[in-house]
Structure 1
Amino acid sequence: MRMSKIKDMLGDEFFIRNLDFEFCRENQKDVISIINQIPYINWTTNDLFEDKDIYGNKWNHSFAITDLENKVVGVIIAYLRLSDDNHIMDSLYVHKLSIHNDYQKKGLGSKLIQFFIYNSFKSIQWLFNITVQTNDEFSNKHVIRFYEKNGFLSIYQINYTDKTDLLMYVDRNYFENNNKLEIDFSATNIVTKNLLHPRLNQTNSLFSKSSKLPILFFSTTNSRKKELYQFIFNNYNIKLVFVSPKIRLTEPQVESAELIEEQNIVQFPLKILSRFITKKPFVVEDTMLFIEFFNTKHDKWELPGYDTKRWWKQIGADGILKIIGDSSRRNAKFASQMGAYVDKNEYFFGRGEISGKISTEIRITEDDLMLGTYPHFFHSIFIPDGANKTLAEMNIYEYSKYDYKRKCVVDFIKNLKYSIDFSNQISLFE
């Protein structure tokens, strides 16, 4: 039997063990009873053994605390959750965590979540995010404080018709940079089974030196853009390392607004750099804004297009609004292109686009340091279709739904999926 020994605050011994299907079936009454201590939860046997695809890997990542008589006194149930409208990142998601009422306030909950964090990041070497969603009510503040004490940070609120939840996360940086674990896990013999990276051709095995956190080498000098792209790629369990090209790049001139021409905006610089590139995949990106007012052809917008950065430097958002005035021709779209040099004559690309309108005034959030957003650039005058705020006014939850850069990243990763062997890369976290 694979387990790890722990002690509560009084010195009593307990064990953490895998909560696999067989053990759960043998102890289902106790497990369900402990889970149903959570407010608003009323699980049945069917809920516990739910086998929908989304829960398919939960038996690999769930654990129980037992006493010396093998009685279950605590459980944590988790599974690999992919991003969706409410959950912006791929993560190992803590679905349920509960300690038996008779054993609470003895430190067992902290020991269990600390073990879970340690074991997950140590075992799944490509994993970057662990998340949990909990009720954001005053009566639940003690639970929020519990997760905060154990390294979790709040990201955003999720509003439902009958409640408001808080999404929280802890990332690999916490695991690597904080040596605050209260348990010596060096003697544990618990093993987590191999797990496939959900978006890349990447496998994992416990302590394997051939399984790494995937790394992309990204070229940009914009510090805020670095933060944003690092956050987005981390959301999909990919690490960015920022590099500077050895030669100064100038943006190529293109002849039309066709998609193949857009692609050249990132492909040409990569071709120029290819003989200097030693770390791969090497990635560059470019952003374009198109505004109806400046284009006569309805089906082929070209302006500002490839000159968007120059327009920003010379005219800015205020200048755009002055030129457009009160015109009704305010339709617009943002597009992002991303390209990667992988090997000789081997390139991969991604693209993301959103449509919207130009606002009548500059509108920007007062919090310009909000995680995962970019309240700069022409975002202060761009209102996406379906929204009533500019991109620069949105919080992270709102912004992620309309983020054309995120859409580009997802498309880019999809195109890389079956093309790159990341297992040969050097991990930053060895």
Structure 2
Amino acid sequence: MKKEEVKVVTGNKRKFEEMNQIALQYGIKLSMINLPKFEIQADRLEDVVRHAASVFYSILNEPIILEDSGLFIEALNGFPGPYTKFVKKTLDINGILKLMKGEKNRNAYFKTALAYVNENEIRIFTGEVYGKIAEEARGNKGFGFDPIFIPEGSEKTFAEMEIEEKNKYSHRSKAFKKFLDYYIHL
């Protein structure tokens, strides 16, 4: 069965580029729909994307995917978690580094919840990557909190990696690959 183009709702070109690089390996074509996300405040990323997916499907009336990611820092009891986007806008990287100043426990993880919605269902796919918070921001290739997150198995921050390398570790690539494995078998 020939698959149609998959539409990704995001305003973030770098997120789209990361997913597109993986999709090409699966022979899937992506297109970006640049719309502001209807984002509820919730304690779980899955709830945020489920709500946004249902809203967008009601507007666009076509199958779409969208995702939301959060940075969960152990020493901060999982903060900022599902509020990562808001914290990035308000405290930004330097604010998180200030909160972590002198903290020995730098363990953290990124989590992605990706929603696929069509006329029959909303399906959620998740991915996580564990690592630590760097002592200082490094790199300029990423976005969000990439300059301070070092995934397990690397000495580099996400912002020091090219897309191909980041996709070997990333929470988003793990969730997106789960979606693609599902999608190609529809």
- Same fold? TM cut 0.5: yes
Matched residue, 1:320 = 96
In the alignment, which of 67, 70, 76 is matched to residue 288 of structure 1?
A: 70
* 1:337 to 2:113 alignment: yes
Matched residue, 1:392 = 159
CA distance in 2, matches of 1:225, 1:395: 13
* 1:251 to 2:39 alignment: yes
3-state DSSP of counterpart to 1:265: helix
* 1:355 to 2:145 alignment: no
Contact 1:350 1:413 in 2 (8 A): no
* 1:275 to 2:65 alignment: no
CA distance in 2, matches of 1:318, 1:387: 22
Q: Note the 1:93-132 alignment, pairs <5 A.
A: none
Unaligned stretches of 5+ residues in structure 1: 1-201, 203-211, 256-260, 296-300, 369-374, 420-430
CA distance in 1, matches of 2:96, 2:56: 34
Q: Note the 1:117-266 alignment, pairs <5 A.
A: 202=1, 212=2, 214-245=4-35, 249-255=37-43, 261-266=44-49
CA distance in 1, matches of 2:182, 2:122: 10
Aligned in 2, Cα 1:268/1:397: closer, same or farther, shift over 3 Å?
Answer: closer
Aligned in 2, Cα 1:269/1:389: closer, same or farther, shift over 3 Å?
Answer: same
Q: Deviations over 1:48-90 (max 9, x none)?
A: xxxxxxxxxxxxxxxxxxxxxxxxxxxxxxxxxxxxxxxxxxx
CA distance in 2, matches of 1:273, 1:223: 19
3-state DSSP of counterpart to 1:377: coil
Over 4 Å off, 4+ runs:
none
CA distance in 1, matches of 2:13, 2:57: 24
Q: TM-score w.r.t. structure 1 length? A: 0.41
3-state DSSP of counterpart to 1:343: coil
CA distance in 1, matches of 2:173, 2:37: 24
Q: Deviations over 1:276-318 (max 9, x none)?
A: 22332x11110110001211xxxxx3x2111100111111112
Contact 1:213 1:237 in 2 (8 A): no
Count of residue pairs the alignment pairs up: 186
Aligned in 2, Cα 1:397/1:227: closer, same or farther, shift over 3 Å?
Answer: closer
Aligned in 2, Cα 1:317/1:244: closer, same or farther, shift over 3 Å?
Answer: closer
Q: Which amino acid aligns with 2:173?
A: R
Q: TM-score w.r.t. structure 2 length? A: 0.89
Contact 2:71 2:109 in 1 (8 A): yes
Q: Which amino acid aligns with 1:250?
A: F
Aligned in 2, Cα 1:396/1:240: closer, same or farther, shift over 3 Å?
Answer: closer
Aligned in 2, Cα 1:327/1:265: closer, same or farther, shift over 3 Å?
Answer: same
1:397 CA drift (Å)? 4.7
Aligned in 2, Cα 1:249/1:226: closer, same or farther, shift over 3 Å?
Answer: closer
Q: Deviations over 1:133-192 (max 9, x none)?
A: xxxxxxxxxxxxxxxxxxxxxxxxxxxxxxxxxxxxxxxxxxxxxxxxxxxxxxxxxxxx
More helix by share: 2
* Structure with more contact order per residue of length (Cα contacts < 8 Å, sep ≥ 6): 2
Aligned in 2, Cα 1:393/1:244: closer, same or farther, shift over 3 Å?
Answer: closer
1:328 CA drift (Å)? 0.7
CA distance in 1, matches of 2:34, 2:27: 23
